[in-house]
A = this chain, B = another copy of it.
Amino acid sequence: MATISDVARLSGLSRSTVSRVLNNYPYVSEEKKRLVNEAMEQLNYFPNASAQKLRNQKTETIAVLIPMLTNPFFAYLLQGIDTIATENGFQLLVCQTRYDKEKELNFLNLLKSKQVDGIILTSIENSWDQLEPFLKYGPIVMCNEYEKTAKNVPSVRLDQVYGGYIATRHLIEKGHSTIAYCRGAFRSGIASDREIGYRLALEEFNLPYREELMFRAAADSRDGEEVFKKLMTLKERPTGIFTGSDQVAAGIIKQAKLNGIEVPKELAVVGFDDQPIAEIVVPEITTVKQPIHEIGEKAMGLMLNLLLPNESDSIEEVELQLQLIERAST
């Protein structure tokens, strides 16, 4: 590949001038500009990105840490992030942690090696103390998952306590008094918050909290199927269940159908997220809608704010709303 020197040589000008044309500097005569452009054309010149990054000390690249690409929730989140990133000329380095603490920690080094200008966290595997020190090396933005103790990190928040509350209350209002809660298997402030909301609703309606109605599954439909089976073994079977994702809800509904349990008559199911699958399954799934794409957009927006401090007011926090969508599964 040709370098800037080749272009300079061919056009009979200096490297500086070529660079100026390249970067649209104001004071270059049309004449030389033409010359340079011709030379670039002829040599099929393209600037070397590593050289630019080294020189400019920035990369226009953001690392996005994601547990699992195949979890549709994260795919949508990523797409939201990508939308805003692309609009602003940023690239995304996608980093799958696979729910692994060590991997997560390694990826944070991307900041130290200046391979990326910032990092967006969509989950947290380590405790915040572990991650905090990396703030020294560049901006970190959190979305989806969050840490209450982390005061100084810009983040996109949703009131997950409220989410758990409205889901549970909805079931209660539908006449259910024995309601299970099925959360993810991993360490998660989100899941815990929703559980708080779940309990809040129970309390409000004077319903007892019962340990045997709590399930910890991972996040997919197969886990949902397992949960259903366990449900069937309980002495006192719940008539309603609130789950951490639509995938899990779908798995439960599937097994219910296969076992002749009618949804929602015999078992009412509430999902979470409002992913496409919520509307594919029959009956469609009542769910707590998260504006997933928007969460991603806002997160990347926060990142840009930190990176380009020209936009006067640097918003450091965004709050988005959860919303119950009632469908046929309750």
What is A's interface to B at a CB cutoff of 8 Å? 1, 44, 46-51, 53-54, 59, 68-70, 72, 75-76, 78-79, 82, 86, 91-96, 109-110, 112-115, 137, 220-222, 250-251, 254, 257-258, 276-277, 279-282
A94 CB contact (under 8 Å) in B46, B70, B92, B137: B92
Judging by beta carbons under 8 Å apart, are A254 and B276 in contact?
no
Q: Is the CB of B276 within 8 A of A220?
A: yes
Top 8 closest pairs, chain A to chain B, by CB: A46-B112, A50-B53, A50-B54, A49-B115, A49-B113, A94-B94, A221-B280, A69-B79
A276 touches B75 (CB 8 A): no
Q: Are B48 and A113 in contact (CB under 8 A)?
A: yes
20 new A-B pairs (CB below 8 Å) besides A48-B114, A257-B282?
A1-B114, A44-B112, A46-B109, A49-B114, A50-B53, A50-B54, A51-B54, A70-B72, A70-B79, A72-B72, A75-B75, A82-B94, A82-B96, A221-B276, A221-B280, A250-B280, A251-B280, A277-B280, A280-B281, A282-B282
Determine the chain B residues whose CB is within 8 A of the CB of A257 once the complex forms: 282
Complex Cα spacing A79 to B310, Å: 37
Quick one: which of B44, B76, B112, B281 contacts A281, CB cutoff 8 A?
Answer: B281
Shortest Cβ gap from A251 to chain B (Å): 7
A-B contact pairs, 12 of them (CB 8 A): A44-B112, A46-B113, A48-B113, A49-B110, A50-B50, A50-B59, A53-B53, A68-B79, A69-B75, A75-B75, A220-B276, A221-B280
Least CB separation from A63: chain B residue: B91
Distance, CA A114 to CA B112, complexed state (A): 22
Taking CB atoms, residues of chain B closer than 8 Å to A221 are 276, 279-280
A263–chain B nearest beta-carbon distance, Å: 11
In the complex, how many angstroms separate the beta carbon of A45 from the nearest chain B beta carbon? Answer: 9
Given contacts A75-B72, A93-B93, A47 and B113 within 8 Å (CB-CB)? yes
CB < 8 Å neighbour of A114 from B50, B59, B82, B220: B50
Given A94-B94, A114-B49, does the pair A78, B86 have CB atoms closer than 8 Å?
Answer: no
| A96 in contact with B79 (CB, 8 Å) | yes
List, in ascending order, chain B residues with CB within 8 A of A276's CB.
220-222
> Across the interface, do A93 and B91 meet the contact criterion of CB distance under 8 Å?
yes
Give the most central of A68, A75, A95, A280: most B CB within 10 Å.
Answer: A280
The 8 Å CB contact of A75, one of B47, B70, B258, B277, is B70
CB distance from A26 to the nearest CB of B (A): 25
CB distance from A278 to the nearest CB of B (A): 11
The residue among A50, A95, A220 with the most chain B CB atoms within 10 A of its own CB is A50
A75→B73 CA distance, assembly (Å): 11
When distances are taken between beta carbons in the complex, the residues of chain B under 8 Å from A79 are 68-70, 96
Residues of B within 8 A of A50 (CB): 50, 53-54, 59, 114-115
Instruction: List chain B residues, Cβ under 8 A from A54.
Output: 48, 50-51, 54
B residues near A59, Cβ cutoff 8 Å: 50
Name the CB-closest residue of B to A107.
Answer: B91
